[in-house]
Amino acid sequence: MSDYRYERVLLKLSGEALMGDGGYGIDPSVTERLARQIKELHDDGVEVGIVVGGGNIFRGLAGSAKGMDRAQADYMGMLATVMNALALQDAFEQQGCSCRVMSAIAMNEVCEPYIRRRAMNHLSKGDIVIFAAGSGNPYFTTDTAAALRACEIGADCLLKATKVDGIYDMDPVANDDATRFESISYHEVLVRGLQVMDSTATALCQDNHMPIIVLNIDGDDNIKKALTGEPVGTVVYQED
């Protein structure tokens, strides 16, 4: 544990991180790999909470763009996150790792309801906790839910796992000369309109001094490197 800079972390995994090359849904070999990577931190004594997205299955905005009622579509998106949470729980349990799923929308037959004090208790006892169904409210994203849960459970940082290796000054896929920031302030992220997390999530972290580390989930030990202070990804910090 002594190598780690953070004792309790909140990891935000997008739904897309679970789908592998399939373009849709959940790839069990991917959830297995993710669980193995996260289990290593857990075995080292880091307390891990996870918020998982649902974009690999359904996004509310996509539904409303096709004419659905936005709130109705958002509830479908939140249900998609529960499926992802259950898939991840299965992957953790297959590796002998104790893992709870707590949902912001009650569905007692499949998982526990989200109760903050109980979640903190699970984490203290060494269970991994997956927070499902986002914030439980339409018109929000799982990035905002991740920022909210990170603050609520007293996490030391929010890790945002993505498909790129940090925050760039422009889209690195479309621009060869895009430059990666090693660190950047919340203010600059908001002013420059950088696509790190949505602005509600960034502002919530800024207001509550919650550090964000943006990193690429595809590197096998990137999370561990980031948590032990190696220069991986981009750190978003509070300006003095």
- What is the Cα–Cα distance from 32 to 34, expressed in whole angstroms? 6
Q: Compute how many other C-beta atoms are within 10 angstroms of the C-beta atom of residue 129.
A: 26
| Binding flag, residue 134, ligand UDP (CB under 6 A) | yes
| Binding flag, residue 162, ligand UDP (CB under 6 A) | no
What the block records as the tokens of 238 is: 């509070």
- Please, what is the minimum distance in Å from the beta carbon of residue 87 to ligand UDP? 13
- Please, what is the minimum distance in Å from the beta carbon of residue 195 to ligand UDP? 12
6 close to 154: Cβ distance less than 8 angstroms: no
Q: Which of 6, 11, 14, 167 binds ligand UDP (CB under 6 A)?
A: 14
The total number of residues shown for the chain amounts to: 240
Residue nearest to ligand UDP (CB): 53
Helix axes of 28-43 and 70-94: crossing angle, nearest 10 degrees: 60
> In whole angstroms, how far apart are CA 180 and each of 36, 122, 176, 222, 226?
28, 37, 11, 16, 16
- Please, what is the minimum distance in Å from the beta carbon of residue 62 to ligand UDP? 7
| Binding flag, residue 88, ligand UDP (CB under 6 A) | no
| Binding flag, residue 74, ligand UDP (CB under 6 A) | yes
Binding site for ligand UDP (CB under 6 A): 14-16, 53-55, 59-61, 74, 77-78, 80-81, 134-135, 137-138, 140-143, 145
